[in-house]
Every structure is written in structure tokens, then in C-alpha cells.
């Protein structure tokens, strides 16, 4: 629909694989802050105030305080689920202390040490922030506009600034508006082409939208690993768990294009082509890991492919992969990652993909590449 210089489109977003989007305001939960029933494959996330009220009504506050301080007499009680059972406090979705219930995505999960929560709105409903969608579109548009020389510059900057923020190609490729033409201000953010693109937050997901997924990595030698190799002290890290959107769901958001600010405004066709081309690069990388007994969902069946969220891998957000030569890509990625993570990033083979581990998740017995989605724009 067009309103003067504004073109507004309704967009349907389909979730093809588990998607995780965290938030600084959504804390992580330890196994003392959520009740994990491993037999039933269920995680009960409590309403803290109502949980405390329930425990207080049972006259068990001192026991609860001792549990939180690791001072319980029975050292075998290590989780909230065990504590509630020991105190004979009912555990079911209908209890008033239960905020919401998560189904565990895989029966292989026997414990949840730390659970990273999905971003939610003020009503506690999960949704996709517009900034996440716009960021993915921005990466694709940048890749589309980059020449081989631009990619070489990105790689060189990666070698010069492997541990810190490095200058990007945005100033030359996207700062094309002329909203601020004062001397030395032509490349100011106010001149960014993405000012002409507005993406709303998605409508919230209703019902049982979330599941618990364990962080998994598909190694180049065919092994599936469930946790990091080690931290900075060389100790093995515990498995990581995330609230993820369940594959098969849909939601809607609005995309608005402003045709007033430039003589060459963005179009839906430009965005679609950029996302398609960037997705082909991502699939080329992912297909290096494909083997017969691991059925990874690498391509969207309909709509415009887009990868969203965290835990999707270095390759999904790095413009290095626009380079024409795989050897150059591999050397550049290995330099950056081995400098940032000298203890843990250690490829086994010289011809390994870079990075040599693909970020995956499992849901109901099927392996998925993280973050795979598609969008369909109405009226185009």
C-alpha cells in the first residue's frame, strides 16, 4: 500500500529451523531458577514472586534460602525440580507459580545447567525485533554492493584489527544520501541508505511457540559436539541451552520504503535479490558439511531466504565470504578466529571449512542449521 512517498508492505515470516534471539533484559536461568523434568521432557519457568509465595505458604522459606545458598543438608538436591519434589510442592503446568512451560526439543537432553531466554514483549510473548530483520537485510545489501576490491579491504582490515572494532565498507557503499552535506559529514550515519527502510517488530508468537535447544556444532570430521572445547583456562565448559522458536511457525511484520530521500530508492526486488545471493553463499559454506545421515535443512522451500538470530555462525554475518576464492576466505577467517579464540579455534585439517564447525540444533529427532527463515512480501 502506498501513502504518498511511503510504500508499506505486509510481510509473512516463516520459521524453518530453530531461531534464537536473546536480549540483555532477558536474563539467563540456572537450574535453580527453572524446574527441569527430564523424564517428561519439560521445563517449567516460574513466576518468581508466585513461586516464593507458594513456598512461603508451605512454611519452607528457610529451606528455600538454604537451597539457594547451597546449604541444604541433602547435597543431592542440586536443582529447583529436585527441591520442589523434596518439599512436596506440586509441579504441573496448572500450578499458579508456573509462568510458562517449554517442551524440550530433544530427548537426548538430560539436564539444563543454564537456559538463555528468548526476547519477549511486555506481555511476555516472544517476537522477532525489527532490528534483527533489518540487520540481516543490511548485511545482504552490503554484500550485493561490494566489489572484489571492497572484499579485499574487509579482509585486510580483519588482519589489522582482529580483536577490535574495525572500519567497515558502509561509509563508501551505503552512505549515499545527502541529508548532511557539511564538510567531513558526507559519510555521517544520517546519510545511510537504510534510513529509507523501516522494519516493524513482528507480531508476537502465540501458544507453545518456544522449545529448549542444546547448542550443537557439526564438526568437519562428521562429529556432533554439544559443548565448547574449553574456556580460557582450558577447562571444559558446560553445555549451553537456549529458548528457540519452534520450526513451522509464522508471524507478520511491516516493511516501509521511503522513496523521498533519494533518487535511487530501495525496492523489494533489490532486497529480494540481495537476500537470495547472500543465501547462496551461505549454503555453499553449509553444504561442505553435508553427509547422508545428517539431513540439514539448508534451503527455504518458498519465499525469500533469510537467516536470523544468534548462534548461527561467523559466516552468516561476515562479508569475507563474498570473496571469489575459498582459499583466501579460509585463511582470512582462520586468522581472525584463531586470534580471537587462540585456545579453542584449532582446525584439524588444512582444507577444513572456515569456521570448521557448523552451528546446528535438533528438534524432534531432526537436525537443523540454526536461524533459517523465509519471508513473503504481499503484493509483489
pLDDT, tens digit, for every residue of 192-223? Answer: 788 889 999 999 998 789 999 888 888 877 77
One digit per residue, the tens of pLDDT, for the chain of length 380 reads: 666 778 899 999 999 999 999 977 667 888 889 998 888 888 999 999 999 999 999 999 988 988 888 765 556 788 899 999 989 999 999 999 999 999 887 665 666 778 899 999 988 899 999 999 999 999 999 888 887 777 777 777 766 665 555 556 656 777 766 665 555 665 667 777 888 899 999 999 987 899 998 888 888 777 787 754 433 333 445 678 899 999 999 999 999 998 877 666 788 999 999 999 999 988 888 877 765 545 555 555 578 999 999 989 888 888 888 877 888 888 888 887 888 787 877 776 677 778 888 888 888 888 888 999 999 998 76
3-state secondary structure the chain: CEECCEEEEEEEEEECCCECCCCCCCCEEECCCCEEECCCCEEEEECHHHHHHHHHHCCCHHHHHHHHCCCCCCCCCCCHHHHHHHCCCCCCCCCCCEEEEEEECCCCCCCCCEEECCCECCCCCECCCHHHHHHHHHHHHHHHHCCHHHHHHHHHHHHHCCCCCCCCCHHHHCCCCCCCCCCCCCCCHHHCHHHHEEECCCCCCCCCCEEEEECEEEECCCCEECCCCCCCCCCCCCCCEEEEECCCCEEEEEEEEECCCCCCCCCHHHHHHHHHHHHHHHHHHHHHHCECCECCCCCCCCCEEEECCCCCCHHHCCHHHHCCCHHHHHHHHHHHHHHHCCCCCCCCCCCCCCCCEEEEEEECCEEEECCEEEEEECCC
Give the contacts of 21 (CB within 8 A, at least 6 positions apart): 118, 119, 128, 129, 132, 308, 309, 310
- Cβ atoms 363, 247 nearer than 8 A: yes
pLDDT of residue 162: 56
Domain boundaries, the chain: 2-24+124-377, 34-104
> Whole-model pTM?
0.86
At 277 the pLDDT is 93
pLDDT tens by residue, 85-98: 989 999 999 999 99
Which pLDDT score, from 0 to 100, does residue 232 have?
37
Give how far Cα 144 sits from Cα of 71, 133, 323, Å.
Answer: 58, 17, 12
pLDDT at 30: 86
Amino acid at each position: 500500500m502506498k501513502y504518498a512517498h511511503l510504500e508499506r508492505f505486509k510481510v509473512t515470516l516463516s520459521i524453518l529451523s530453530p531461531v534464537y534471539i536473546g536480549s540483555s533484559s532477558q536474563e539467563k536461568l540456572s537450574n535453580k531458577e527453572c524446574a527441569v523434568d527430564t523424564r517428561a521432557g519439560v521445563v517449567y519457568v516460574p513466576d518468581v514472586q508466585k513461586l516464593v509465595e507458594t513456598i512461603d505458604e508451605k512454611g519452607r522459606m528457610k529451606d528455600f534460602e538454604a537451597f539457594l545458598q547451597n546449604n541444604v543438608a541433602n547435597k543431592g538436591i542440586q536443582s529447583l525440580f529436585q527441591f520442589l519434589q523434596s518439599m512436596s510442592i506440586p509441579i504441573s503446568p496448572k500450578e499458579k507459580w508456573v509462568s510458562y512451560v517449554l517442551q524440550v526439543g530433544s530427548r537426548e537432553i538430560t539436564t539444563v545447567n543454564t537456559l538463555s531466554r528468548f526476547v519477549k514483549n511486555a506481555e511476555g510473548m516472544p517476537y522477532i525485533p525489527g532490528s534483527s530483520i533489518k540487520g540481516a537485510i543490511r548485511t545482504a545489501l552490503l554484500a550485493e554492493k561490494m566489489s572484489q576490491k571492497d572484499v579485499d579491504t574487509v579482509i585486510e582490515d580483519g588482519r589489522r584489527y582482529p580483536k577490535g572494532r574495525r572500519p567497515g565498507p558502509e561509509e563508501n557503499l551505503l552512505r549515499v544520501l545527502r541529508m548532511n552535506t557539511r564538510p567531513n559529514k558526507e559519510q555521517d550515519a544520517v546519510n545511510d541508505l537504510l534510513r529509507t527502510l523501516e522494519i516493524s517488530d513482528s507480531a508476537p508468537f502465540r501458544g507453545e511457540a518456544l522449545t529448549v535447544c542444546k547448542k550443537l556444532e557439526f564438526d568437519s570430521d562428521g562429529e556432533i559436539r554439544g559443548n565448547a572445547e574449553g574456556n580460557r583456562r582450558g577447562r571444559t565448559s558446560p553445555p549451553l541451552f537456549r529458548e528457540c522458536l519452534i520450526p513451522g511457525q509464522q508471524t507478520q511484520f511491516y516493511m516501509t520504503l521511503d522513496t523521498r530521500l533519494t533518487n535511487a530508492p530501495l525496492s523489494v526486488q533489490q532486497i529480494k535479490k540481495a537476500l537470495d545471493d547472500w543465501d547462496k553463499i551461505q549454503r555453499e559454506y553449509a553444504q561442505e558439511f553435508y553427509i547422508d545421515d545428517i539431513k540439514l535443512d539448508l534451503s527455504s522451500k518458498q519465499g525469500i531466504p533469510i537467516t536470523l538470530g544468534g548462534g548461527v555462525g561467523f559466516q552468516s554475518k561476515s562479508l569475507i565470504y563474498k570473496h571469489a576464492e575459498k582459499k583466501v576466505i579460509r585463511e582470512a577467517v582462520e586468522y581472525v578466529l584463531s586470534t580471537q579464540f587462540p585456545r579453542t579455534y584449532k582446525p584439524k585439517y588444512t582444507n577444513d571449512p572456515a569456521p570448521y564447525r557448523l552451528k546446528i540444533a535438533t528438534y524432534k529427532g531432526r537436525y537443523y542449521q540454526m536461524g533459517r527463515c523465509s519471508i513473503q512480501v504481499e503484493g509483489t
